[in-house]
Amino acid sequence: MRFDLTVLVPHLGFLAEGALLTALVCGLALVGGVILGMVVAIARTSSNRVVNRIAAAYVDLFRNIPFIVQLFFFYYGLPEIGIFIDAFTTGVVALSIAGGAYASDAIRAGILAIDTGILEAAEVSGLSRRTIFRRIVLPIALRTSVRPLGSVLINMILTSSVLSTITLNELTGQAKIVASDTFRPFEVYFVLLVVYAALTYLVSLGIALLHRRLNRDLSEPVG
């Protein structure tokens, strides 16, 4: 069979719809994941033993169980206890929870990397613990963990393809439909592979730029 990409041309708009949905899901899950990651990172760096344990257990559990199992747990399990939400919401929630486990590790590393002198100075200045966290710890930690958070986002984009298994027609789901419409699965999935690779490459470029921009005062050449 000839490798013919022109068969895909009529379906480009359809695929773009899927790509848009993928972007939307990943964007929402990124926000959810980072917020959850921040809370968990604070819990994991707290001196309270119990809070620390619970946070560590959450990270350990969600990092060591396959995403598809977590997803099915939520998708089939939630209606059982009377929570009826659609595939989109389930996908965003599951992706946020799984991403939050990874994000918390990145943010925790950022928090632990903060110079204790800064924290002591803040305490001596009489700032409350809340203010120290909100105004000093989090901004510094988030700034230094832009790069690891970026790889969390890239992983999220790749993982979001699994959402096609719960009838959410994002990029992979739409491509599945196109493949069965055109009977050209090889071309469709090959293009999809390249599109995902290009997408994640662009995202990683953007992250590198953001990292440089946010940390510009740290990378100034000395002297």
Binding site for another protein (CB under 8 A): 1, 3, 61, 64-70, 72-73, 76-77, 80, 154, 158-162, 164-165, 172, 175-176, 179, 183-190, 192-194, 196-197, 200-201
Closer CB to another protein, 33 or 133, in the complex: 33
Q: Tell the smallest beta-carbon distance from residue 196 to another protein (Å).
A: 4
Q: Tell the smallest beta-carbon distance from residue 190 to another protein (Å).
A: 6
Per-position DSSP letters for 51-83, written without gaps between them: HHHHHHHHHHHHHHS-HHHHHHHHHHHGGGGT-
Q: Tell the smallest beta-carbon distance from residue 158 to another protein (Å).
A: 5
Closer CB to another protein, 44 or 184, in the complex: 184
C-alpha angle with apex 62: 58 to 67, nearest 5 degrees? 160
Residue of 43, 60, 138, 141 whose CA lies nearest to 102: 60
Q: Tell the smallest beta-carbon distance from residue 17 to another protein (Å).
A: 17
Closer CB to another protein, 80 or 220, in the complex: 80
Distance in angstroms (rounded) separating the CA atoms of residues 182 and 170: 18
Closer CB to another protein, 3 or 84, in the complex: 3
C-alpha angle with apex 185: 182 to 187, nearest 5 degrees? 95
C-alpha angle with apex 166: 165 to 170, nearest 5 degrees? 75
